[in-house]
Amino acid sequence: MIKAVVFDKDGVLLDSEAEYDRRRKVFFAEQGIDDSAFPDFYGSNNDEIWRTVEPVDEARRAELFENFIQRFKNEPMVYADYIYPEAEPALRAIRKAGYMTALASSSPHAYIDKFLAAAAFDALFDYVVSGEECARHKPFPDVYLNAFSALGVEPGEVIVVEDSPKGIAAAKAAGAYVIARKVPSFPDIDQTLADERITTLEGVLPRVLAL
């Protein structure tokens, strides 16, 4: 019996990954950093990204990250511009049907809080957790196991809504049923590990409301 639906943030509730990618590319170009050999950072956490940029020199890595933050200090993410219009109605319908909801994201908690404030989604989640609060990031299952424990549910009692290959792998490793939301700005992203795919968050509703 499903008792909870747990959501990732970027790509699932808002189409923000393209903007993150744009900002990194702007910064790399301004710093003279050749990013041509960098992997796809979709769904990655800050530690993984900046270790790729500077794998050896920790002080230089920290300096680059701080410079990146300062570069866009006066251009904050306007999260409201990227939120999927169906996100709030879908969340409200799921909760009205009696399911618990949680947010489990790789983003730093400060970014999650800014998103929740911008979207006015604070009351729509029973629990919120950042990957930075866990020992290991996605694709390890830690952030999802944390959420399941906080909600008091078993993995088999949870549906996870994800988008990135790392996030899907993390949710599957945690033992959950995984629904992948297709991302308009990254239509070719590999979601083959998911149990099913949907075009919008409204696609979650038939599954949970039929249970």
CA separation for the pair 165, 42 (Å, rounded)? 9
Q: Is 10 a catalytic residue?
A: yes
Same domain, 89 and 44: no
Average pLDDT over residues 166-192: 96
Catalytic residue among 10, 15, 142, 163: 10
Q: Please give the helix or strand (H or E) that residue 165 lies within, else none.
A: helix 165-173
Same domain, 86 and 128: yes
CA separation for the pair 162, 103 (Å, rounded)? 11
What percent of the chain has a predicted confidence (pLDDT) above 90? 93
Query: Angle, nearest 10°, between helix axes 165-173 and 142-151?
Result: 50
Same domain, 112 and 22: no
Same domain, 51 and 126: no
Same domain, 84 and 57: no
Domain boundary, last residue among 50, 71, 92 = 71
pTM of this prediction exceeds 0.85: yes
CA separation for the pair 156, 163 (Å, rounded)? 20
CA separation for the pair 132, 47 (Å, rounded)? 9
Look up the CATH number of the domain holding residue 201. 3.40.50.1000
Supply the range of the domain harboring residue 92: 4-16+79-209
Sheet holding 158-162, edge to edge: 127-130, 100-105, 4-7, 158-162, 177-181, 196-198
- Domain tally, the chain: 2
Q: What pLDDT digit, counting tens, does each position of 1-43 carry?
A: 899 999 999 999 999 999 999 999 999 999 999 999 999 999 9
The pLDDT assigned to 211 comes to 62
Q: What pLDDT digit, counting tens, does each position of 93-145 carry?
A: 999 999 999 999 999 999 999 999 999 999 999 999 999 999 999 999 999 99
Q: Is the backbone peptide bond immediately before 139 cis, with ω within 30 degrees of 0? A: yes
* Long-range pairs for 153-158: beta carbons < 8 A, 24 or more residues apart: 153/3, 153/4, 153/100, 157/1, 157/2, 157/3, 157/4, 158/2, 158/3, 158/4, 158/5, 158/6
